[in-house]
Amino acid sequence: MPRNENPIEKNETLGHVVKVQQVIDFIVLSYLMDGRRYHSEMEQYITKTLDGVGVNDAYFSQRLRALAESGHVQREWETDNRYNRFYEITDSGVEYFKMLLKDLPDRVKLAQRVYGLFDSYIAKFNKVNLK
């Protein structure tokens, strides 16, 4: 049989499933809507919101730096202590948050569907003898 004689059309791509950075950005920006927060407060808030699932420290710092560089948050030192950096949402951050709020529900539904299908796919291999 020739290759791709009966191709299956893609409705979506895996790249459209929710990305970790979008989850972090959304939670951070939503938390900052109530006022400025310290780095550690936001990290704890994510862990609490996701029932014990946290964020790698280096990746979280990278996301906060990216949000600041894109103008979505403003970061400032409170003192000379490097651990006293706090963040505030900007007007640009509010607009980005609104865009995420509009876009993420459909992506979450897609992710739930895809991961449900993948979970079923993985289950097929539970009986496979890998010895």
- List the Cα angle 121/126/128 in 5-degree steps: 105
Number of other CB atoms surrounding residue 131 within 10 Å: 3
To the nearest 5 percent, what fractions of the chain are helix, strand and coil?
55, 10, 35
pTM: 0.85
Whether pLDDT at 130 is above 70: no
Please give the residue that has the higher pLDDT: either 71 or 17. Answer: 71
3-state class of 74 per DSSP? Answer: strand
Q: What tens digit of pLDDT does each residue of 26-73 get?
A: 999 999 999 999 999 999 999 999 999 999 999 999 999 999 999 999
Domains of the chain: 17-123 (1.10.10.10)
Give the pLDDT confidence score for residue 80 in this predicted structure.
64
Give the pLDDT confidence score for residue 62 in this predicted structure.
95
**Average pLDDT over the chain, rounded to an integer:** 90
